[in-house]
Amino acid sequence: MRRPLVWGLLLGGALAGRLCHLELLWVEECYPAAAAIQILHGKIPYRDFWFDKPPLAPLVYLLWGAYGGWPLRLAGALYVTAAAWLLYRFASTKWGEREGMLAAGLCVFFLTFGVPSAVMALAPDLLMLAPHVAAVYFGWRRRPLAAGLAAGVAVLLNTKGLFVLAACLVFAGGAWKRVAIGFALPNLVMLAGLGATGALAGYFEQVWRWGWLYSRDSFVASPIFEGLKRTANWAGFHAVLVVGAVVYFRRGQDPEARRFALWMLIALAAVAAGWRFFPRYYFHLLPVMILIGVRGLALLGRRAALAALLVLLVPLVRFGPRYVMLASDMIAGREHAWRDAAMYQSSRRAARMIRAYARPTDTLLVWGYRPDIFVETRLAAGAPFLDSQPLTGVIADRHLVDARPSAPDLARANLLRLTATAPTFVVDGLGPYNPTLAITRYPELSLWLERYEELARAPGAVIYRLKTSEDQ
């Protein structure tokens, strides 16, 4: 089969899977999209609104105006295909065309048939995958400056990009100084830009200090047991890579096997950092497992490799039927009856109600972690917060079921800041799920809330609107 046709099929497959999610948005992708919408409104991240992720992700979303729907899904398909091409370059340069094409195919497959909230969301963990591969590839090719640049881009997408820097140093040999220079360049440019706009202090406070608090305060009761269980589950769905990796280390006789083993250990450390083991964290492990896995499959021989590839039926059978159901719903004009999409559908209904009353100059506050409401309404934030984590001090990974604040002092200070604002609309998207954290339960906001009237309710959301002068 000709190479252009193969790449066309890979892009087409990635796009087809994503188009099945055309009418859905995942919260992980809505957060950078919501930040990008605020930038389009003339606001500066970290200075004008709280944003606890590095700055490059919302800038990426600006490329298609931070819209959902087909622009987002096309961007995701193009990105996944680009990541597959980088893995192809790495594997084919090191071993051969067969390993390269297999690496590309497996990359597209596993970034399509996986946990939807992870593989479909063009979020920081997925966005970091391509510069991760590029950083190690350039390190392996003894191009340390380019390796450092790619690692620098990775950390501007995700703070765990520091693990990418460590991985590329493993392959860069003694050229660590040039790697460091390359790594520093994009970060210094970004820091200079943040400093020039008055956002530098907020960047360190929101990305690094809050990120450290997030990492050390896991909701997982037994992180080691949980990590072993989830890693075993991941290995089961990626069994073909595990089989290939075992063969690679036992029969590969690769003089660089120790470096690949060290890269794998660094990737596992990145997965474990923060002790949460979300499916999207395993994107750190995927590139190295694909590379050593395809080499092991090649060493098995054609028949044994084809037999090993049959285990791809496990993720295909597990995740594939959902794509058929989503596509069928769209063709029939039905709303998706899927538990995983219930909160987004609640957000979409709430946004539809707001749009019925909103003017272009109106503003919004969302109480809870519901950035999809910003994406659906495209309104400017009426307060320096895109969600309520810095207002309640309760981290979003638990605030639907727990009310224990991780940063009570920060929350009190931010609640005081909130009372000096007057967003047109306020959506409580948290109280219906966890009444203890409802916006009405905070005495600091009682006088402030008297300026608002309840406008409407949607399942999972209460919408308030600022009273007019006549109402007051």
Burial class (CB in 10 A: 0-12, 13-18, 19+), 470: exposed
What is the pTM for the complete model shown? 0.94
Range of the domain at 398: 341-466
Contact 157, 83 (CB under 8 A): no
Same domain as 426, residue 279: no
Question: Does residue 335 lie in a domain region?
Answer: no
One-letter amino acid identity for 389? Q
Query: Please, which residues bridge with residue 456 across strands?
Result: 463
Same domain as 426, residue 346: yes
Per-residue pLDDT tens for 331-354? 988 888 888 999 999 999 999 999
Question: Does residue 216 lie in a domain region?
Answer: yes
How far are the Cα atoms of 95, 223, 395, 424 from residue 226, in angstroms, in the given order? 36, 5, 19, 43
Give residue 45's Cα distance to chain centre: 18
Same domain as 213, residue 101: yes
Same domain as 298, residue 228: yes
Burial class (CB in 10 A: 0-12, 13-18, 19+), 324: exposed
Contact 61, 36 (CB under 8 A): yes
Contact 213, 407 (CB under 8 A): yes
Same domain as 216, residue 363: no
Q: Count the domains in the chain.
A: 2
Same domain as 241, residue 142: yes
Contact 135, 170 (CB under 8 A): no
Same domain as 417, residue 289: no
Question: Does residue 262 lie in a domain region?
Answer: yes
Over residues 285-314, mean pLDDT: 92
118 band by pLDDT with thresholds 50, 70 and 90: very high
Over residues 376-394, mean pLDDT: 96
Same domain as 274, residue 412: no
Same domain as 346, residue 305: no
**Alpha-carbon span 392 to 407, nearest angstrom:** 8
Question: Does residue 328 lie in a domain region?
Answer: no
Same domain as 352, residue 284: no
Same domain as 395, residue 251: no
Question: Does residue 326 lie in a domain region?
Answer: no
Per-residue pLDDT tens for 194-233? 999 999 999 999 999 998 888 887 787 788 888 999 999 9
Same domain as 301, residue 164: yes
Return the pLDDT at 1: 61
Average pLDDT, the chain: 94
Question: Does residue 324 lie in a domain region?
Answer: no
Residue 468, token pair as written in the block: 């007019």
Where is the domain boundary, 302, 317, 332?
Answer: 317
Where is the domain boundary, 317, 332, 367?
Answer: 317
Question: Does residue 345 lie in a domain region?
Answer: yes
Question: Does residue 329 lie in a domain region?
Answer: no
